[in-house]
Amino acid sequence: MCNRRFPPLFLIIAASCIFFCGSASAAPVFSAQVIKVVDGDSLEVVSSAGEKIKLRLWGIDAPESRQAYGKQAKLLLAAMVKGRRVEVQGKDIDLYQRLVALVWVDDTLVNEELVRQGAAWVYERFCREHICHSWQRLEDDARRERRGLWARPKPVPPWQHRK
């Protein structure tokens, strides 16, 4: 008997749409309720169909939980979205079978707001679309104004911390 855990049907459909649409920007937007904030860039939501979905915010990387500013980044994200209805646009599926997505609460793009507040880096390795250039300017502004994680001397990006 195979013990491999298969991805939820929603992730299979989302991945198929992203692949066959040729562009993640063509992927459908759906509403969901945020039920858990895992860390500064990861959430769990419940779709209107009642399916639990693990999300990773696309294009950004927040400090790890045990890293400097990690707890603050998680608290900032929780203050924005926990218990709220959000709009989600899937862009990819990661190695951990999470839907990598853009997330909006009201009219605020959460991914972008976390960069603006100094709670996340633009994840240049994966963020290669036009919007990433404006996010990089927001990160530069936060760094210059010493907001959030940039108030600390020499913050270590999470991708270096994970090594």
Q: Which of 5, 44, 51, 56 is catalytic?
A: 56
Q: Which of 51, 64, 139, 147 is catalytic?
A: 64
- Read off the pTM: 0.86
Catalytic residue among 44, 98, 137, 144: 98
Q: Give pLDDT, residue 8.
A: 56
56 as an active site residue: the answer is yes
Average pLDDT over residues 15-24: 48
- Kindly tell me if the per-residue pLDDT of 123 is higher than 80: yes
pLDDT value at 10 more than 90:
no
Following DSSP, what letter does each residue of the chain receive, concatenated? ---PPPPPHHHHHHHHHHHHHSSGGGSPEEEEEEEEEEETTEEEEEETTS-EEEEEETTEEPPPTTSTTHHHHHHHHHHHHTT-EEEEEEEEE-TTSPEEEEEEETTEEHHHHHHHTTS-EE-TTT--SHHHHHHHHHHHHHHHTT-GGGGSSSPPPHHHHT-
What CATH number is given for 9-161 in this structure? 2.40.50.90
Q: Determine whether 116 is an active site residue.
A: no
- Listed by start position, the domains of the chain span 9-161
